[in-house]
Amino acid sequence: MQPQSQGQPVPEPRRSRRADRRVTGREQRKAAVEEAERRKRWTIAAGTIALVLIVGLVAFLVTRPRDLGPPIQVAEAPPAEMAAGGSATEGFTLGPDDVPVTVVEWGDYT
Protein backbone atom coordinates (compact mmCIF):
# COMPACT_ATOMS: atom_id res chain seq x y z
CA MET A 1 0.00 0.00 0.00
CA GLN A 2 1.29 3.43 -0.87
CA PRO A 3 1.59 6.12 1.76
CA GLN A 4 -1.04 8.84 1.42
CA SER A 5 -0.26 12.50 1.70
CA GLN A 6 -1.99 14.55 4.31
CA GLY A 7 -3.84 16.78 1.79
CA GLN A 8 -5.70 13.97 0.06
CA PRO A 9 -9.03 12.72 1.39
CA VAL A 10 -9.26 9.14 2.46
CA PRO A 11 -11.61 7.21 0.18
CA GLU A 12 -14.52 5.56 1.95
CA PRO A 13 -15.49 2.02 1.29
CA ARG A 14 -18.33 1.67 -1.18
CA ARG A 15 -20.67 -0.13 1.21
CA SER A 16 -20.71 2.55 3.90
CA ARG A 17 -21.73 5.28 1.42
CA ARG A 18 -24.59 3.17 0.16
CA ALA A 19 -25.72 2.47 3.72
CA ASP A 20 -25.69 6.18 4.55
CA ARG A 21 -27.98 6.95 1.62
CA ARG A 22 -30.44 4.21 2.51
CA VAL A 23 -33.15 5.30 4.93
CA THR A 24 -34.75 2.59 6.98
CA GLY A 25 -38.47 2.25 7.58
CA ARG A 26 -37.99 3.17 11.22
CA GLU A 27 -36.27 6.44 10.26
CA GLN A 28 -39.04 7.20 7.77
CA ARG A 29 -41.71 6.65 10.42
CA LYS A 30 -39.75 8.78 12.88
CA ALA A 31 -39.48 11.59 10.32
CA ALA A 32 -43.22 11.32 9.56
CA VAL A 33 -44.07 11.54 13.28
CA GLU A 34 -41.81 14.58 13.72
CA GLU A 35 -43.41 16.26 10.70
CA ALA A 36 -46.90 15.54 12.08
CA GLU A 37 -45.93 17.03 15.47
CA ARG A 38 -44.47 20.11 13.80
CA ARG A 39 -47.63 20.53 11.70
CA LYS A 40 -49.77 20.12 14.84
CA ARG A 41 -47.81 22.83 16.70
CA TRP A 42 -48.19 25.23 13.77
CA THR A 43 -51.92 24.50 13.56
CA ILE A 44 -52.37 25.18 17.27
CA ALA A 45 -50.37 28.43 17.02
CA ALA A 46 -52.34 29.63 13.98
CA GLY A 47 -55.64 28.71 15.65
CA THR A 48 -54.68 30.61 18.79
CA ILE A 49 -53.76 33.71 16.78
CA ALA A 50 -57.02 33.50 14.82
CA LEU A 51 -59.02 33.13 18.03
CA VAL A 52 -57.33 36.18 19.59
CA LEU A 53 -58.07 38.24 16.47
CA ILE A 54 -61.72 37.18 16.43
CA VAL A 55 -62.17 37.94 20.14
CA GLY A 56 -60.53 41.35 19.63
CA LEU A 57 -62.80 42.14 16.67
CA VAL A 58 -65.92 41.14 18.61
CA ALA A 59 -64.82 43.22 21.62
CA PHE A 60 -64.21 46.19 19.33
CA LEU A 61 -67.61 45.88 17.68
CA VAL A 62 -69.47 45.40 20.98
CA THR A 63 -67.86 48.38 22.72
CA ARG A 64 -68.31 50.85 19.86
CA PRO A 65 -70.35 53.92 20.81
CA ARG A 66 -73.99 53.69 19.76
CA ASP A 67 -75.87 56.28 17.72
CA LEU A 68 -76.70 59.00 20.23
CA GLY A 69 -79.51 60.63 18.27
CA PRO A 70 -79.58 63.57 15.92
CA PRO A 71 -76.50 65.75 15.69
CA ILE A 72 -76.22 68.85 17.85
CA GLN A 73 -77.23 72.02 16.05
CA VAL A 74 -75.41 75.25 16.78
CA ALA A 75 -77.25 78.57 16.71
CA GLU A 76 -76.25 81.08 14.10
CA ALA A 77 -74.17 84.07 15.13
CA PRO A 78 -76.09 87.34 15.57
CA PRO A 79 -76.08 89.69 12.59
CA ALA A 80 -73.24 92.16 12.38
CA GLU A 81 -75.47 95.18 13.14
CA MET A 82 -76.54 93.62 16.46
CA ALA A 83 -72.98 92.80 17.44
CA ALA A 84 -71.82 96.29 16.47
CA GLY A 85 -74.02 97.92 19.11
CA GLY A 86 -77.30 98.37 17.22
CA SER A 87 -79.14 96.65 20.09
CA ALA A 88 -78.51 95.46 23.60
CA THR A 89 -76.17 92.48 23.86
CA GLU A 90 -75.24 92.81 27.50
CA GLY A 91 -75.86 90.21 30.17
CA PHE A 92 -78.41 87.52 29.30
CA THR A 93 -80.40 89.54 26.75
CA LEU A 94 -79.99 89.96 23.03
CA GLY A 95 -81.89 92.55 21.07
CA PRO A 96 -84.22 95.40 22.11
CA ASP A 97 -86.20 95.21 25.35
CA ASP A 98 -89.64 95.85 23.74
CA VAL A 99 -89.84 92.69 21.57
CA PRO A 100 -93.13 90.73 21.79
CA VAL A 101 -91.46 87.32 22.37
CA THR A 102 -89.62 86.24 25.50
CA VAL A 103 -87.64 82.99 25.57
CA VAL A 104 -86.86 81.42 28.91
CA GLU A 105 -84.29 78.63 28.84
CA TRP A 106 -83.91 76.11 31.59
CA GLY A 107 -81.36 73.30 31.78
CA ASP A 108 -80.67 70.45 34.16
CA TYR A 109 -76.99 69.48 33.99
CA THR A 110 -77.05 66.60 36.44
Q: Is residue 53 part of a domain?
A: yes
CB 106 within 8 A of CB 92: no
Quote the number of domains for the chain. Answer: 1
Q: Is residue 50 part of a domain?
A: yes
Question: Measured between alpha carbons, how far is 62 from 59 in angstroms, rounded to an integer?
Answer: 5
| pTM of the predicted model as reported, rounded to 2 decimal places | 0.41
Residue 60: band (very low, low, confident or very high) from pLDDT cuts 50, 70, 90:
very high
Q: Is residue 75 part of a domain?
A: no
Q: Is residue 88 part of a domain?
A: no
Q: Is residue 78 part of a domain?
A: no
Q: Is residue 51 part of a domain?
A: yes
| 2-35 confidence digits (pLDDT tens) | 555 566 666 655 655 556 566 788 888 899 999 9
Q: Is residue 30 part of a domain?
A: yes
Task: Give 98's DSSP letter.
Answer: T
pLDDT of res. 40: 97
CB 99 within 8 A of CB 82: no
Query: Mean pLDDT across the stretch 66-82?
Result: 73
Q: Is residue 93 part of a domain?
A: no
pLDDT of res. 12: 59
Enclosing domain of residue 59? 14-67
